[in-house]
């Protein structure tokens, strides 16, 4: 199968599910949210109003958002609009005084998406295709939160490790295999997880922004932020994926740069009862 052949409806998906057998979920939704970053303020404001109009409210005096599936999905979509707003308006960070050459946060997320998802999938596809019918099952199973699990695991391990980066891929593989969602991906074996993580980790290194050394990159908050944003953008249904909310949306909401609005943070807290992010249980690897 041609790894570059892809249904644009998946890349700009709006529904909270992914059934794309072409990209295995590796391109789900990402381009659509990045396109929103590149729109003008009016475009993003219109998308926000579209989602807010879908919210339903209790009939009592409190006028709270009802705790139902639609409202939970809308709340996570509004969080993604917040992220798009932040990416659109945040200038490049300072890097040795050469701000013009340093990539903006939006460019960082775009680079990771290209190298770790699309680029990695391009390399993975031929190896899966050699498995004949087995490849079809892998593709189908990976749409079950395979890529957001990958980016969440990588962010958690990078955050906990900071040094000794050679051990990071092994720890990421272990975390994915222990994910509660892994039971829903029976064709994604340990060997498949190893293949995907190795390709994505290589993409992470290739995407080292503007030649920033890898050791500097993984010790810096920008890489973690970009990984978390990518996890939120690529997740087909954050409302059904506690790890994305706990280890991506919550840290982004607590980010000192105010990525999520106070209204969005309050709505997420009202509609979800996720525990605070826990420490990563590291294993050798």
pLDDT value at 98 more than 60: no
Give the DSSP per-residue string, 207-233: T-GGG--HHHHHTSHHHHHHHHHHHHH
Residues 6+ apart with CB under 8 A from 81: 36, 44, 47, 48, 51
Cα dihedral sign, 136-192-150-216:
negative
Q: Which helix (H) or strand (E) holds 13?
A: none
Angle between helices 30-38 and 105-112 in degrees, nearest 10: 160
Which candidate, 145, 179, 156, places its Cα nearest to that of 282?
Answer: 156
**Whole-prediction pTM value?**
0.88
Question: How distant, in Å, are the alpha carbons of 45, 59, 131, 151 from that of 191?
Answer: 44, 52, 12, 18
Read off the pLDDT of residues 174-203 as tens digits, 9 standing for 90 and up. 999 999 999 999 999 999 999 999 999 988
Residue 122 has pLDDT above 60, yes or no: yes
CA–CA distances in Å: residue 256 to residues 58, 225, 260: 32, 11, 10
- Residue 79, both tokens: 């969080």
pLDDT tens column, 12-59: 887 888 878 789 999 999 999 999 999 999 999 999 999 999 998 877
Q: What is the pLDDT of residues 223-273, one digit of tens each?
A: 889 999 999 999 999 999 999 999 999 999 999 999 999 999 999 999 998
Which pLDDT band, with edges at 50, 70 and 90, does 283 fall under? very low
C-alpha R_g of the chain: 18
CB count, 10 Å around CB of 166? 8
Q: Name the packing angle between helices 41-52 and 69-89 (round to 10°).
A: 170
């Amino acid at each position: 199968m041609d790894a570059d052949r892809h249904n644009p409806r998946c890349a700009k998906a709006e529904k909270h599910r992914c059934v794309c057998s072409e990209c295995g979920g590796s391109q789900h939704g990402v381009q659509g949210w990045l396109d929103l970053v590149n729109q003008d303020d009016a475009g993003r404001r219109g998308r926000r109003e579209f989602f807010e109009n879908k919210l339903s409210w209790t009939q009592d005096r409190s006028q709270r958002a009802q705790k139902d599936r639609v409202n939970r999905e809308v709340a996570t979509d509004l969080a993604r609009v917040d992220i798009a707003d932040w990416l659109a308006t945040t200038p490049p960070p300072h890097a040795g005084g050469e701000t013009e050459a340093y990539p903006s946060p939006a460019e960082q997320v775009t680079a990771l998406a290209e190298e770790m998802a699309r680029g990695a999938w391009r390399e993975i596809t031929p190896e899966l295709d050699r498995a004949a019918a087995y490849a079809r099952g892998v593709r189908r199973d990976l749409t079950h939160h395979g890529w957001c699990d990958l980016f969440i695991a990588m962010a958690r391990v990078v955050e906990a490790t900071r040094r000794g980066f050679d051990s990071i891929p092994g720890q990421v593989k272990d975390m994915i295999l222990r994910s509660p969602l892994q039971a829903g991906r029976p064709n994604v074996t340990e060997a498949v997880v190893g293949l995907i993580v190795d390709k994505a980790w290589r993409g992470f290194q290739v995407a080292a922004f503007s030649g920033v050394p890898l050791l500097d990159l993984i010790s810096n908050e920008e890489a973690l932020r970009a990984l978390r944003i990518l996890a939120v953008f690529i997740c087909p249904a954050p409302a059904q994926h506690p790890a994305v909310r706990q280890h991506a949306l919550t840290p982004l909401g607590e980010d000192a740069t105010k990525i999520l609005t106070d209204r969005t943070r309050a709505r997420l807290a009202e509609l979800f009862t996720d525990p605070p992010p826990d420490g990563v249980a590291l294993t050798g690897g």
